[in-house]
Amino acid sequence: MTRKKVLVTGGAGFIGGNFVQYMIEKYPEYEIYNLDGLTYAGDLTKHRGIETKDNYHFIKADIVDYEIIIPLFEKHKFDYIIHFAAESHVDRSITDPGVFVRTNVVGTQVLLEAAKKIGITKFVHVSTDEVYGELDFDPTTFFTEDTPLQPNSPYSASKASSDLLVRAYHHTYGLPINITRCSNNYGPYHFPEKLIPLTISRLLNEEKIPIYGDGQNIRDWLHVFDHCVAIDLVLHEGVNGEVYNVGGHNERTNLEVVKTIIHSLGKSEELIEFVTDRLGHDKRYAIDPTKLEQLGWKPTYTFETGIAQTIQWYIDNNAWWEQIISGQYQKYFDKQYSLEILKK
């Protein structure tokens, strides 16, 4: 029997990286291809434990590069595509939107075209709850799959655009697709520009924590391991053409998140620094995951168990994030926050 070929784009990043490791472990009978362009967010050191496995393959490629992607698909004839590769940081999209359109919109279209040419079993497009825009602070309101798309940042607008292309390739060409829209992930290998790993890594170095605005914005936190299980379920059981929201009812204000980490590490709240708000900062995200639960998914982490596991992981794996924050990333950090906390 020929082995199923699974292409994971963005498998050197945070969620894609966790997903590659999950798939290698769970499906030794599959061939896993990790395709990644290795931008600033891509890092292969996380795969040292699996890179010698026979069923793991790495391909360095830019998803926008049609001349490379089409022949690659024709050569390998992938069965499954799980598409994570993207520019993912909202702050970067505010200062440099163009690259978000390039990768998230054009790159997705190139992959769809390649998938259409070879015929595939399933294309799972990993999207975000941010495409729905923002909710107000009424705790009884949630994003469902029927919530209209009203993206507010260049990042979420580029993701919403890619969702529409995926939908169109299903409607027009019958491409077997699913779109998943998840809330904020956290867990191992989260890049330290995002709130939770930024807070943990800076606290471990006794550095100030920048909180945008008044810290009352709410996010709905999802452990990356629970997210991997959800994508696996959608890949194998999702009804073609359907959208599935992924979230675990773990709403917290940013201030609550930061204070939880501060207390867990035994640090002082004086390290909190309120800084200028993010432009267009969405107030609240909250997911209604009923549809995915009906497919059979249930998260295993509460925020309390997940954040404790994550903090411990960052303590145990300081070498991983220290090599990141000491390099090119430091230049980004200095520019993003310079006037606010670096001078204090």
Contacting positions for ligand DAU (CB under 6 A): 88-90, 128-130, 183-184, 194-195, 198, 210-212, 217, 219, 254, 278, 285
Q: Tell me whether residue 111 or residue 135 sits nearer to ligand DAU (CB atom).
A: 135
Residue 248 contact among ligand DAU, ligand NAD, none, beta carbon within 5 to 8 Å by kind: none
Nearer to ligand NAD, 126 or 262 (CB): 126
With CB under 5 to 8 Å by kind, the binding choice for 112 among ligand NAD, ligand DAU, none is: none
Give the strand order in the sheet containing 56-60. Answer: 56-60, 31-36, 5-9, 80-83, 122-128, 177-182, 243-246
Q: Are strands 80-83 and 122-128 parallel, antiparallel or unpaired?
A: parallel
Given the residues 56, 155, 186, 314, select the one marked as catalytic: 155
Residue nearer to ligand DAU on the CB measure, 7 or 209: 209
| Pairing mode of beta strands 218-223, 251-253 | antiparallel
**Minimum CB distance to ligand NAD, residue 58 (Å):** 11
**Closest-CA residue to 57 (of 3, 8, 2):** 8
220 DSSP β-pair partners? 251
Task: Give residues 128-187 in contact with ligand NAD (rule: CB under 6 A).
Answer: 128, 159, 182, 184-185
Q: Angle between the 108-118 and 66-76 helix axes, to the nearest 10 degrees? A: 30
Name the catalytic one among 31, 62, 130, 226: 130
**CA 40-43-47 angle, 5° bins:** 170
Q: Could you confirm whether 91 is annotated as catalytic? A: no
Distance CA 117, CA 110 (A): 11
What pairing do the DSSP bridges indicate for beta strands 272-275 and 184-186?
unpaired
Is 155 a catalytic site residue? yes
| Residue whose C-beta lies closest to ligand DAU | 128
In degrees and rounded to multiples of 5, residue 31 shows phi and psi of -95, 120
Side-chain half-sphere exposure of 252, counting CA atoms within 13 A: 20
The smaller minimum CB distance to ligand DAU, of residues 192 and 238, is found at 192
Q: Are 189 and 320 contacting, i.e. CB atoms less than 8 angstroms apart? A: yes
230 touches which of ligand NAD, ligand DAU, none (CB within 5 to 8 A by kind)? none
Task: Tell me whether residue 337 is one of the annotated catalytic residues.
Answer: no
Smaller CB separation from ligand DAU, 15 or 72: 15
> Which positions are catalytic?
129-130, 155
Instruction: Using CB under 6 A, list all residues that contact ligand NAD.
Output: 10, 12-16, 36-39, 41-42, 62-64, 84-88, 103, 107, 126, 128, 159, 182, 184-185, 191
